[in-house]
Structure 1
Amino acid sequence: MARLTRAETQERNRARVLAAAKEEFAARGYREARIDAIAEAAGLTRGGVYSNFPSKRALYFAVLAHLATPHPASPTARSEPGTGSERGTEVAGHADTTVRGERGSEVAGHGDLTAWGGRGVEGGRGRDSMAGVRDAVGAFARWWVGGLPLATAESEAWLGIDLVGEVLADERTRRVYGQLLKLDALLLGLAMERVRVLGTAAERLERVRQPAVPHGRLVRVAEAVLTTLHGARQLAAAATGFVEPFDVITGCERLVGVELDTGWAPAHLPWAPPARPVDERWSPPPAVDVVHAESAYLGGPEAPPGRRAAGPSVGGEYEEVVVVVGLQRVEAVEEAVRAVPPGVGVTAVLVTSDPAEFGPLARLVVGEVCVGVRQAFPREAWPALQVVFDEPGTVAAAAGVTAVSDETEVAIRVRAGRIVARAEGRGAAHAAASAPIPFPSRG
């Protein structure tokens, strides 16, 4: 048998630690779990555990992230809705049928939720413009409720009940967590906006993305839906028998009809420095887009068939705005999404100065919602926005960002494999997305 390489050995040890930690956290809870017990179960020393995970909290976040998105797609993978490529059911050889992507339609003690109110998203075509949105949000809520830690649920459903306590314990973590939830709301809101226009005139798909269009933005509604679902999760754990899953689903559907302020105009945008034109080589490493669970398109000379943007921009070239953003500046992603011209895609590259702890936290919080969107929404309604987790900073380095922090905000505009514009600092995402970049003359 060939000897394992150092990288293979490290990956095998990491998988063993994750599997052992999952069992320890499930049996004893986060606070009572012991690193020594995890090390013994994994066949490693205490130092061997800490060589893979610098703290107990980092290990806890990593276990939860692995359960939420067990098997990240390779940079060349493509996925279809409901396929095994986005579902993964094992943690290092330990069967687990209660992970996020594998939620069924039944809630313990409450029967089959699919049969209740299951009108289907496709039924939204030809009805009032918000009926399809309500159906999709209801499907998303049913998927979410399937993972609540109810009294009769299996033990894995309880693994995450200490997450909020760990978030509350540290101000920096609270700020990061809040920004990640804003990205969740953006992704859910964009999917809702796309569902609303399915089956209508194609140009409306672009109109709803513009912040000036009255009642076009559904991110605030998505925030209310996520507030309800996260609250239900906490109460399901803290107040046994209090949460009624059917009422949670109905409440989320009813939120779609609530009139909230849909305006969107960050105060700093008028003072943001404009993007500067450049002509630089762009050669990013392969990366995975967690929104669609497939290889990310980062603005190369030829777009792959699965590219999510509407197509070539006005000049006939594929373009992408790549926003390298720290985990305390994630809200800047929407500034690019709302400003890009038709046909120009947006990719958010998430970076952090603490990849050991905040990397898994980002994968957990954002990855969970991405799985839910893929499960509940038709493929044509998935957000065009791509999200890349860049813990090692390799994509950021390719964009010229050699030192990252949680406050980083750098954006580049890529056309036909070249960087044609660059912006840094607060407002950079909007500046690169809205920059009037001329096309070269064709003689």
Structure 2
Amino acid sequence: MVRLTRAQQQARTRAAVLAAAVEEFTEHGFAAAKVDRIAARAELTRGAVYSNFPSKRSLYLAVLLDSVQHETASSVPGERLDLPDGAEAFARAWLERLPLAGDTPDAGKVRSRSLTGVFEDEPGRAAMAGLARLDGLLLALALESCRTPRAGRRVRLAELILTLLHGAGHLAETAPGFGDPFDVARACRRLADHAADDAWDPPHLPYIAAPRLCRDAWTPPADLTDALTGQTMGFDDGVIVVLGTDRLGAAEEAVRAARPGEAVTIALVTDDPAEIGALVRLRITDLAGCLRGAFGPDAGLPLPIVLDDRAELAAAVGAGTAADTETAVRVQDGTIIARAAGRGAAHAAATAPSLAERHTGTEEA
């Protein structure tokens, strides 16, 4: 008889729980699912379930994340797309999740990775709002890589596309059979044909405190990866922003304020890794799959996203992990040359003077 190691036994138990949970959530939905039934399906104790997943919500999120990670990306274009083509390609990749005609309502929700009724508390709703804004920024950057006769930001366009797609997803849950996914994809294309002005004028920007200029040692953690590409991060010169889930909208401030071609890295932190952290990982992994399906595996976005589960990058920057965390640094020549914390920190660090600019300013003074 082969004796399993502790790690192998834990992996087997976790896999059994996930398999049982898929059946339970597919048959009963999130709200009516019972942990006791999941344990019985897996032929385990209730305690064994909770030793792997601290709550029913964390287990549901794990089921959805597992389904995303096992998806195979559809065929992708081999060349740079025009903007309308890119908008339609993303919509088609996103709409592949919609329930099939024979799905039951609860099975359809699992297939579509629905979070309806899962996060109704204020921390969860705030995190969902922040993630929606981050999704819009990441899609915008992908759309900005497309060929277009008019250069410019596409954040508002991306938010409109996502609004249309999420509305289609909600209708697929509540009114199955209404609408045609191909029509929705074509509508996203038409939005790109008539892209609205990308208005952006946050009222608080003039009141942001200046960053603290410094020359601090910089020792970034090793082996962290970009959640969008899977590539190991290098943390070279540029701006690094650590954000809690209530402050994810500040990522746009950093991107817009950064110098052309300058690296901006966003690290996402949470003090609730089991649920909010799992939600963040699910949404980012899901979006990354859609972007790869639409724009190709090597499309790459100029905004690395680090899911800083162990707060390693946060510790290196000197940031916390609370939901309202916003801390940013500017790195140059292997040294932290500016620090900022609090609302507006991302913008402050991105606009901090370089060493050369600081030296020139001193001489002129």
Tell me how far 1:181 sits from its aligned partner: 0.8
| TM-score normalized with structure 2 length | 0.88
Q: Which residue of 2 aligns with 1:83?
A: none
Q: Does 1:423 align with 2:344?
A: no
The equivalences for 1:69-88 within 5 A come to 70=69
Q: Does 1:361 align with 2:279?
A: yes
Tell me how far 1:274 sits from its aligned partner: 1.7
Q: Which residue of 1 aligns with 2:93?
A: 143
Secondary structure at the aligned position of 1:426 is classed as coil
Alpha-carbon distance between aligned partners in 1 of 2:228 and 2:144, rounded to the nearest angstrom = 16
Contact preservation (8 Å) 2:332, 2:354: no
Equivalent residue letter for 1:148: L
Alpha-carbon distance between aligned partners in 2 of 1:123 and 1:364, rounded to the nearest angstrom = 27
Alpha-carbon distance between aligned partners in 1 of 2:43 and 2:206, rounded to the nearest angstrom = 58
Contact preservation (8 Å) 1:141, 1:229: yes
Tell me how far 1:225 sits from its aligned partner: 0.6
Alpha-carbon distance between aligned partners in 1 of 2:242 and 2:184, rounded to the nearest angstrom = 36
Question: Which structure 1 segments of 5+ residues have no match?
Answer: 71-88, 90-98, 106-113, 115-119, 125-131, 209-215, 300-318
Q: Which residue of 1 aligns with 2:199?
A: 263
Secondary structure at the aligned position of 1:324 is classed as strand
Alpha-carbon distance between aligned partners in 1 of 2:350 and 2:127, rounded to the nearest angstrom = 24
Q: 1:423 to 1:161 in 2, by over 3 A?
A: closer
Q: Which residue of 1 aligns with 2:305?
A: 387
Contact preservation (8 Å) 2:31, 2:117: no
Q: Does 1:373 align with 2:266?
A: no
Q: 1:162 to 1:262 in 2, by over 3 A?
A: closer
Tell me how far 1:340 sits from its aligned partner: 1.4
Q: Which residue of 1 aligns with 2:362?
A: none
Alpha-carbon distance between aligned partners in 2 of 1:328 and 1:11, rounded to the nearest angstrom = 33
Tell me how far 1:178 sits from its aligned partner: 1.0
Equivalent residue letter for 1:48: A
Q: Does 1:272 align with 2:272?
A: no
Q: Which residue of 2 aligns with 1:16?
A: 16
Q: Residues 352-377 of structure 1: CA distance to partner in whole angstroms, max 9, x if unpaired?
A: 12111111111222221111111111
Q: Which residue of 2 aligns with 1:64?
A: 64
Contact preservation (8 Å) 1:36, 1:46: yes
Q: Residues 269-324 of structure 1: CA distance to partner in whole angstroms, max 9, x if unpaired?
A: 2211222222223231321211222222322xxxxxxxxxxxxxxxxxxx121111
Q: Which residue of 2 aligns with 1:309?
A: none
Alpha-carbon distance between aligned partners in 1 of 2:129 and 2:94, rounded to the nearest angstrom = 19
Which of 129, 132, 139 aligns to 1:188? It is 139
Tell me how far 1:55 sits from its aligned partner: 1.4
Contact preservation (8 Å) 2:20, 2:42: yes
Question: Which structure 2 segments of 5+ residues have no match?
Answer: 360-365
Secondary structure at the aligned position of 2:336 is classed as strand
Contact preservation (8 Å) 1:412, 1:420: yes
Q: Which residue of 2 aligns with 1:84?
A: none
Which of 383, 408, 412 aligns to 2:329? It is 412
Q: Which residue of 2 aligns with 1:165?
A: 117
Alpha-carbon distance between aligned partners in 2 of 1:435 and 1:2, rounded to the nearest angstrom = 58
Q: Residues 220-265 of structure 1: CA distance to partner in whole angstroms, max 9, x if unpaired?
A: 1111111111111111122121121111111111111234241222
Q: Does 1:222 align with 2:158?
A: yes
Alpha-carbon distance between aligned partners in 2 of 1:430 and 1:332, rounded to the nearest angstrom = 8
Q: Does 1:32 align with 2:32?
A: yes
Equivalent residue letter for 1:13: T
Question: What percentage of residue pairs aligned between the two structures are identical?
Answer: 45
Q: Which residue of 2 aligns with 1:308?
A: none
Equivalent residue letter for 1:360: A
Q: 1:138 to 1:259 in 2, by over 3 A?
A: closer
Q: Which residue of 2 aligns with 1:46?
A: 46
Q: 1:243 to 1:50 in 2, by over 3 A?
A: same
Contact preservation (8 Å) 2:64, 2:113: no
Equivalent residue letter for 1:42: A
Equivalent residue letter for 1:433: A
| TM-score normalized with structure 1 length | 0.73
Alpha-carbon distance between aligned partners in 1 of 2:330 and 2:252, rounded to the nearest angstrom = 16
Contact preservation (8 Å) 1:181, 1:366: no
Q: Residues 96-125 of structure 1: CA distance to partner in whole angstroms, max 9, x if unpaired?
A: xxx3xx2658xxxxxxxx9xxxxx68475x
